[in-house]
Amino acid sequence: MSSLKKIPDFKNKDEEREFWANSDSTEYVNWKKSEKVTFSKLKPSTKTISLRLPEFILDEIKMIANKRDVPYQSLIKIFLKERIDKELKQTVL
């Protein structure tokens, strides 16, 4: 492998995110020398909320979740994220 490219300095996280989204990391990082690490002290980036739903909606969500073999709360998060992405995509156009 030839010498690695220098990772540029970034002005902010968005600039760094854009760079890595469009760059091949193998040109900048020797992954053969990488080590596995665990971040045991990280706090989850979730926030607990209380959400009131009509029982029939919750029952339907649980039924769909059961068919997909996923926890119903995870399915709710998936549905919300899909809808948010759709709404944001429509507002950009």
pLDDT at residue 43 in the model: 80
Amino acid, res. 25? S
The whole-angstrom separation of Cα 16 and Cα 30 is: 19
21-72 pLDDT tens trace: 999 999 999 989 988 888 888 887 888 999 999 999 999 999 999 999 999 9
DSSP string, 7-60: PPP-SSHHHHHHHHHSS-GGGT--GGG------TTPPPS---------HHHHHH
Give the per-residue pLDDT at 45: 83
Rounded CA-CA distance 21/46 in Å is 24
Task: Map out the domains of the chain as residue ranges.
Answer: 1-36, 55-92
pTM over 0.85: no
- pLDDT exceeds 60 at position 1: no
The mean per-residue pLDDT over the stretch 67-87 comes to: 94
